[in-house]
Amino acid sequence: MSGVRRNEDEVRRMLETARPQVPAGLPARASRRGARLLRRRRVLRRLWLVAAGAVVVAFTVWAVMVQPWQAPPAGTTPPLDGW
């Protein structure tokens, strides 16, 4: 078991070599891109809300105009009994 540990430590030491230099512009570029991502997400959410609201309004207007809950007028006259 300790042999495995020793081998792993050997490779770990291999990995701990010189660290690359972060280019000066990289963090700024990342934050710009992140801001753009955030903005796009906000716009998408707003569009989605507007679409959902439009659907609700359209349904309400249609329901008020058509009033589908009212029974349709009878097509035939009811029979006259006991006259």
Partner 1 sequence: MAGAAGRLLHVATLLTAEPVDPPGTDERAQRLLTAALARTYADWDQLHGEDPYVRTRQDLAVRFARQAWRHRRPRGGLLDRLTPQERLVLVLRLYEGVPEEQASALLGISVERIRSVCDRSVATMRGTRSPTGRWGHTRQLRAAP
Q: Which residues bind partner 1 (CB under 8 A)?
A: 4, 7-8, 10-12, 14-23, 26-27, 29-38, 41
The residue (of 41 and 53) whose beta carbon lies closer to partner 1 is 41
E strands, the chain, where?
none
Minimal distance, residue 51 CB to partner 1, in Å: 23
Question: For the chain, what is the largest distance between any 2 Cα atoms, rounded to a whole number of angstroms?
Answer: 110
Select from 36, 39, 17 the least CA-distant residue to 28.
36
Measure the CA–CA gap between 8 and 16, rounded to whole angstroms.
12
Minimal distance, residue 49 CB to partner 1, in Å: 18
The residue (of 18 and 71) whose beta carbon lies closer to partner 1 is 18
Minimal distance, residue 2 CB to partner 1, in Å: 14
